[in-house]
Amino acid sequence: MSHYLDRIGAGFILARPDTLDFDYVPEELVGRDDIQHELASKFNKISSPDGTGRAIITGPVGSGKTVLAKTFCRDIKRHMSGKRDIQIAQVNCRNASTSMRVAQRILHSLDPGHPDRGLSMGELLLSLRKLIRRASVHLIIVLDEVDHMLRRSGDELLYQLLRIDEDQEGTGTLSLILISQEQVLEFLETAVMSKFGKTNHIRVPSYTKEGLEAIVRQRAEAALVPGTWDDGILRLLAEKAAPSGDARQVIEFLSSAVERCEFRQDEHTERKLTVDDVNALNHVMATDVGVRLELIDTLSPPTMLVLLSMCRRLKTQDSMTMGDVEALYAVVCEEYEQKTRSHTTLWKYIKSLEQEGIIESHVAAVSGGRGRTTHLSMPHFLPADLASRLELLLPKLLRR
């Protein structure tokens, strides 16, 4: 009766499901070299016994702020092994949204059994200072989504953490990293900002299409059975997520395409991600790219003929070259008894479709040959749906 569950864990396509989780931290952070170097520069004094570092990391959803901090903390701990004992306390302030709860989480990261009930903020911080000194460690505290705590409790905890070495012999016991989607500097009082330093602010931009492609390739290599994907499929996924610049979205798109591919497996199916698996996302996900299907109705008939020729190829392939378009365009024109336009005019139609957001282009090497050419794709629409709509519209328009 439960044979329908046999596909769970079958691993036709997916070998390591954990590597497609949003919380998975890869061994190497791709597409963020400059930001990593900037963050490291804020901690260049940490190699000395009294050195500390501070950073405020801000950026939009899915820009990689959290994984940037996690990989940095992991890597600095490894780098300083044998030179300085570094411990990490990472707290998500959405889950612990008051300064008291944040302080308790920090304390528990060093001593999980430490009692906290009935203790005041001053007593918690005194215990934290004693634990750090007794263990002779340097503690890096990462406060993710820190704006939630700042709204509810203000910045007093930050002020106290920044002053934790006062009245003590020796300094350099604690470093601090704040993470937020918002510009949190406006939440900080002058005294806190003065100690933290405005120059320690790191702004993380949304990912570019190239960055998203690097991420989805890294996850595919880690998660999928070798030979079950190709570069064209990964590029199509990156193009689909490019309007948002969100790393989580491109990982979700890959995961959904893999799920679709696993679902349709049988003894006759090629075990490989296809364009259909990627295009199926358009049925189950709301992908707002700022364009509507009604745009097709406003195109001129000659432009529609070009688009129809592309749709017929892109039903089964992730991209096509300009040479492919010209060949198929000639076939479509013959089918509709229309005169073909020149190469220059055809190129103008292609660029107008790209400006409308219907297709995308990139320059890459010619498959199986030398040189480079323009490759065209349709990441935000189902080519089959557009083809059906065009095949209904064109006969009416061409009779006028």
- Asked whether 395 and 332 are in contact (CB, 8 A), the reply is no
Please tell me the predicted confidence (pLDDT) of residue 248.
94
Average pLDDT for 259-281: 81
Domain with 212, as residue range(s), is 3-17+208-284
Average pLDDT for 187-191: 85
When the pLDDT of each residue in the chain is averaged and rounded to a whole number, the result is 87
- Please give the share of the chain, as a percent, with pLDDT higher than 90: 56
Residue 25 lies in a domain: no
- Do residue 255 and residue 118 come from a single domain? no
Residue 22 lies in a domain: no
Whole-angstrom distance, CA of residue 237 vs CA of residue 216: 8
Residue 379 lies in a domain: yes
The pLDDT tens digits of the residues spanning 46-66 come to 988 888 999 999 999 999 999
The pLDDT tens digits of the residues spanning 145-167 come to 999 999 899 999 999 999 888 77
- Do residue 190 and residue 257 come from a single domain? no
CATH at residue 227: 1.10.8.60
The pLDDT tens digits of the residues spanning 211-233 come to 999 999 999 999 999 999 999 99
Nearest Cα neighbor of 32 from 223, 245, 181 is: 245
Nearest Cα neighbor of 154 from 212, 106, 215, 93 is: 93
256, two tokens: 């959904």
Mind giving me the DSSP string for 260-287? HHHHT--TTS-SS--HHHHHTHHHHS--
The pLDDT tens digits of the residues spanning 364-385 come to 776 665 667 888 998 888 888 8
- What is the count of structural domains for the chain? 3
**Element of type H or E holding 142:** strand 138-144
Which residue among 203, 221, 247 closes a domain? 203
Residue 327 lies in a domain: yes
Order of strands across the sheet that contains 372-377: 320-321, 372-377, 360-365
Q: With 90 as the cut, is the pLDDT of residue 291 above it?
A: no
- Do residue 146 and residue 246 come from a single domain? no
The pLDDT tens digits of the residues spanning 71-102 come to 999 999 999 998 999 999 999 999 998 999 99
Q: With 70 as the cut, is the pLDDT of residue 7 above it?
A: no
- Asked whether 132 and 173 are in contact (CB, 8 A), the reply is yes
- Do residue 69 and residue 189 come from a single domain? yes
Question: pTM of the prediction?
Answer: 0.79
**Element of type H or E holding 55:** strand 54-58
13, two tokens: 């396509």
